[in-house]
Amino acid sequence: MKTALITGGAKGIGLAISQELMRDGWNVVITGRDAQAIDAAVAGLTTGTGKAVGKVMDVRDRASIDAVLAEVRKEFDSLDSLINCAGVIIRDESEVLSEADWETVIDTDLSGVFRCSQAAFADLEKTKGATIVNVGSIAGSVGIAGRAGYTAAKAGLEGLTRTLGLEWADRDIRVNAVAPGWTRTEMVAGGIKDGRLSEAALTSRIPQKRLAEPHEIATVVKFLMSADSSYITGQTITVDGGITINGNT
């Protein structure tokens, strides 16, 4: 039975990925900083034959990552896939964005992916056909006002995906990314509910005229983990309802 480690796996897209994999019989290791959210996510993962476990882990701390990987080695036969989904957004205009906030976003959304990938490399290299899938954003290819750190991190993530895909292709580790558009995660749904976001305004710019559901991103991640994508590496798949080809975010 295959095992996947999912950073940021307790909510939103990360949780949807966990659910999809459990249904397909994977073991899933859900990680994050919020122990309560992790416990709730694991308790809700009851579909499928795989095993779900939760681990508190901070992608900004290499020692934390190494400790979790050591536990995974003890509990499971192999690590077959790493899903880098942990991320933060701090909104502020660039002229007033603090250096501390900039560094928090870069350290989590970009450096955290590098740390986890580097730390997991030795385990993944032992597995035939191992995969890494990075969850990026359309912010990686377009500018979004008020999110300088986030857009820089997600653009960097696409470059990192290409480089790791190139470097590790001959190690039988495929590295790809998905770039979601506006998705109905808890964060977006909360913004719509409290009036910070307008669903009508968002969907008016999306050619398909609706937000993505988390499972629609998760199924693309699952494809990139599967043998059906065995000749794809170093690529970023955009899943955005057409918003970027419309030239409007």
Which residues fall within 8 angstroms of residue 36, CB to CB, at 6 or more apart?
none
Active site (annotated) includes residue 150? yes
81-84, strands of its sheet edge to edge: 52-56, 27-32, 3-7, 81-84, 130-135, 173-180, 236-239
* Integer Cα distance of 28 and 45 in angstroms: 10
Identify the active-site residue in 76, 121, 150, 168: 150
* Integer Cα distance of 125 and 62 in angstroms: 19
Angle, alpha carbons 146-116-88 (nearest 5°): 20
Angle, alpha carbons 123-124-127 (nearest 5°): 100
Sign of CA dihedral 132, 137, 138, 142: negative
As annotated, the active-site residues are 150
